[in-house]
Structure 1
């Protein structure tokens, strides 16, 4: 990894909104982020995306004198909290799906460097084992939250924050995105802009724009329930083992949010599946 140097002092502006990573700043036309165990995979992934001409991700420039990775800053708007009114816009939803499909197609030929894929937490529980069903197809972004999608002129143009990238299936990617953008959540836990969202319709809109196959559509709800059950155990483990943002989210009740989502999915899953297959 090449060193990054600048000759003139640059004001650093904190970039807020993430749940886990701290110390992210903008400096001129760059973003500086702390390195971590995930960095070798992320750096190789970003280099691959640059090589194949995918323009919907930051470019990796190097490491600065403080040992932080340096990325290009992507101009645009992101949906922070509380969500803006446009978070419910279906055209934007379609553009997120198309961007994610473009990313998944671009990364499909990527082979992670040896040793760069971190092992997940060793959690011995039936819910965790049951959620490991399908062999991975690619290295997914797996954190397509509104904070991590950059828009320009009402269209999703870039994904940022690849810290949670990991081997996944295309269905995993869609489930992850829909969790935040449909959203797949109990109405009690939704942002006001999406509290009354027609979730089955939004799932269909997203699946159509992504180009999700019929088999994956039929399995989407079941996979989401399994992933949700696993997520509860993983989040609790990370809160206890890693602390920091994970512990804050757990203390704020994310475990209860996950349990409510699971119950809501069990009740409303048939309607979502029907919309996806109609």
Structure 2
């Protein structure tokens, strides 16, 4: 690939204008970029291999990150991304990230994107907060890296866990799931994820209540962003994001007892 050829990258719903140039990725520089760059430099310093490296800013004012080689699943999801092995791998990757970042002391006043939803309680670490299939890099069918840290912010481990389960279990109405996941045993997949991540019994009891809170706050946060920021957020909202969240809430409540029995 020629160094000066820009190849548009798809997958992200919010950040537009992301391109690959050689072995780098160029992204619009935003208000939150200094905070994200500090996080990525910390991860590089502690030897966490599963994240891009910050390489600077180009002549057009775009942030320059290293290209993380591999494949990011796009929808409809490929078969390798929906296996139980992939699910366990995502849980292990998230746990490795949390263990790597838990000692990071972000600068006071770091400009994180704090308009998104959150759980109650004191932040424990800087979460990725957007571990969707499009943001996980696979090599040889194994999850090896996380990309797109735009929504990273101070939060709890549990927020990252339930957000990831929302997409990977998935905790969603069957009609809104990828076709390969329409008929899966979600309770089993939630349990497998929690086993792989290493949640203890007390942690498992928090999963469903945290998911309930996360759904409600996600609905309100996305609606507010659509109204106040417009752009991609408004487009996502118009596409039915709020309705999908409400259906997922209803599905969670209808299947609560079965999911709880699997977890604890």
TM over 0.5: yes
**Aligned residue for 2:60?**
66
Structure 1, 134-143 or 111-120: larger mean CA deviation: 111-120
Matched positions, count: 263
Q: Moved runs in structure 1, 4+ residues, more than 3 A?
A: 117-122
- Residue ranges of structure 1 left out of the alignment (5+ in a row): 1-7, 123-127
**Aligned residue for 2:227?**
240
Corresponding residue to 1:114 among 94, 108, 119: 108
Residues of 1 paired with 2:144 and 2:210: CA distance?
A: 28
Corresponding residue to 2:156 among 169, 178, 187: 169
String of CA shifts for 1:82-123, please: whole Å, max 9, x gaps. 11122220001111110110000000011111211447349x
Per the TM alignment, residue 133 of structure 1 is displaced from its structure 2 partner at its CA by 2.1
Residues of 1 paired with 2:3 and 2:206: CA distance?
A: 53
Contact kept, 8 Å, 1:87 with 1:193, in 2: the verdict is no
Structure 1, 266-275 or 137-146: larger mean CA deviation: 266-275
Distance of aligned partners of 1:119 and 1:147 in 2 relative to their CA distance in 1, 3 Å threshold: closer
Corresponding residue to 1:256 among 235, 238, 243: 243
**Aligned residue for 2:98?**
104
Per the TM alignment, residue 132 of structure 1 is displaced from its structure 2 partner at its CA by 4.1
Residues of 2 paired with 1:9 and 1:198: CA distance?
A: 45
Residues of 2 paired with 1:218 and 1:163: CA distance?
A: 29
Secondary structure at the counterpart of residue 255 of structure 2: helix
TM-score, with length taken from structure 2: 0.96
Secondary structure at the counterpart of residue 112 of structure 1: coil
Say if 2:213 is the partner of 1:226: yes
Residues of 2 paired with 1:225 and 1:242: CA distance?
A: 25
Structure 1, 110-119 or 64-73: larger mean CA deviation: 110-119
Aligned pairs for 1:266-277 (under 5 A) are 266-277=253-264
Per the TM alignment, residue 135 of structure 1 is displaced from its structure 2 partner at its CA by 1.2
Residues of 1 paired with 2:230 and 2:53: CA distance?
A: 30
Residues of 1 paired with 2:248 and 2:201: CA distance?
A: 24
**Aligned residue for 1:186?**
173
- Residue ranges of structure 2 left out of the alignment (5+ in a row): none
Distance of aligned partners of 1:148 and 1:119 in 2 relative to their CA distance in 1, 3 Å threshold: closer
Per the TM alignment, residue 37 of structure 1 is displaced from its structure 2 partner at its CA by 1.3
**Aligned residue for 1:76?**
70
Superposition CA RMSD, Å: 1.5
